[in-house]
Structure 1
């Protein structure tokens, strides 16, 4: 019998089951890219140096750098590519993930630097217990293709605002299915209710895409470009970044307190 690893371009480097699901780490034998898969969902992909191959991660990186933030909190780790990139451009990064195994795998396979401070904790609990204020907070935490409900609640957004310095920024990664999917606009409405000035960075017309909802001192931010060029797929990332557009929250979105749906 032939092992699938013998015929597939993907080599399985690690597979582990945690209380939060199964994590598999793959490497592409042709390109050297490393991927982090949680259940059926790919959550990170990077070149051998840990530089992301996802355009939205490069967008987040460039936006945070534009704010001139020094101390950055990231809620959600997976492969930790954004943390690796921020550390490379001089930011002091704290990573929080509910699954300690994610942090271990990010360090082992994705070049997450030892200088990045990591905590195994649920994101909201960490903010509740730590009085520290950050220049920027990035939320990129998923259960499947959705952000956990407590991390997109009015309570969480008020707490996040308290944990930001004056002039600080909150960046929130969302996944939407298509242009009529209002989930990102619901999150934007909740952030606005918590007192944030809100903008969205979106790629209209694309299906199954990431949308960055940002709040705080974000009105002066300009279109993000690539700051750290990966050794794989860099031109594709540049093309995707050029397709991203800032927009306001859509008024036609359903009320913020209505349940989100995909369809």
Structure 2
């Protein structure tokens, strides 16, 4: 193994490593593997493959969370317009230098929630892959997250949210319920990688029978686990 980059700034430990025998590169943050690509920058993590598959019919995609940019690269290489948002500006340099992030991918340095609250743009799909270590930041689980995502989606848009946990876990169930309350049909895609589990919450917007949708969780839902 060859260490290409390390950083211990901003309360995070980031390591970029290259395997000498095949040129594959890996991005670790706080001990968690976020990105794994081959020498040409093609993704090697199954959960990224499944996110890409879920997004295969979309042409204009917003990514919240970047790391090494493997998903952004996959989407861009097949012709999608990609905007990726991250609150750590160094991640864009890492993704371009070490992981072959295409130059046409738009990179925005911003907090994901602040970006959702401030932008007036819209996308066909949103992929959410925001973590500190393997935990989703509490700020991403705000009671109005469904409304915030809805306001930046085109009608009938798609959300693919990665959770580093099982389908039965509290975060997965919370996110699924939050999106259902905001007017989405949701399905859970379980992904296993070397005995570690990820779940994708795949959600598409559908109109409610009365033509309206709920766009926020009530406080009792926001504060308590979903059975």
TM-score by length of 1: 0.75
2:178 pairs, out of 190, 212, 216, with 190
The alpha-carbon distance between structure 1 residues 180 and 163, as it changes in their structure 2 partners (threshold 3 A), is closer
Q: Distance in 2 between matches of 1:217 and 1:52?
A: 28
Task: Tell me the residue number matched to 1:248.
Answer: none
Match for residue 167 of structure 1? 156
Q: Using the alignment, how far apart are the partners of 2:42 and 2:29 within structure 1?
A: 19
The residue aligned with 2:137 is 148
2:60–2:80: 8 Å Cα contact kept in structure 1? Answer: yes
Q: CA shift at 1:182, angstroms?
A: 3.5
What is the CA distance between 1:208 and its match in structure 2?
2.8
Partner residue of 1:15 out of 6, 10, 15? 6
Q: How many residues align?
A: 211
Match of 1:34 in 2: 25
Structural mapping, 1:59-208, within 5 Å: 59-65=50-56, 68-176=57-165, 178=166, 180-203=168-191, 207-208=195-196
Q: Secondary structure at the match of 2:174?
A: helix
Contact 1:37 1:43 survives alignment (8 Å): yes
Match in the other structure for 1:224: none
- After superposing on structure 2, the runs of 4+ consecutive aligned residues of structure 1 that deviate more than 3 Å are none
- Tell me the distance in 2 between the aligned counterparts of 1:13 and 1:192: 43
Identify the residue that residue 222 of structure 1 maps to in structure 2: none
Question: Match for 2:202 among 214, 218, 235?
Answer: 214
2:224 alignment counterpart: 258
TM-fit CA distance, 1:112:
0.2
- Please give the per-residue CA displacement for 1:178-233, whole angstroms capped at 9, x wherever unaligned: 565332112101111122111111148x9531100011159xxxxxxxxxxxxxxx
Q: Residue 150 of structure 1 contacts residue 156 of structure 1 at CA under 8 Å; is this kept in 2? A: no
Question: What secondary structure does 2:13 align onto?
Answer: strand
Q: CA deviation at 1:72?
A: 0.3
Q: Does 1:54 align with 2:72?
A: no
Q: Distance in 2 between matches of 1:46 and 1:24?
A: 14
Q: How does 1:234-245 map to 2 (within 5 A)?
A: none
Deviation per CA, 1:134-178, whole angstroms, max 9, x where unpaired?
0000001111111111213231221001110001101100011x5
**Greater mean deviation of Cα atoms: 128-137 or 191-200:** 191-200
Structure 2 residue ranges without an equivalent (≥5): 207-220
Residues of 2 paired with 1:64 and 1:107: CA distance? 22
Q: Describe the shift of the 1:155–1:25 C-alpha distance in structure 2 as closer, same or farther (beyond 3 A).
A: same
Residue in 1 that maps onto 2:213: none
The question of whether the paired residues in 2 share the 8 Å contact of 1:139 and 1:171 is answered with: yes
Normalising to structure 2: TM-score of the pair? 0.87
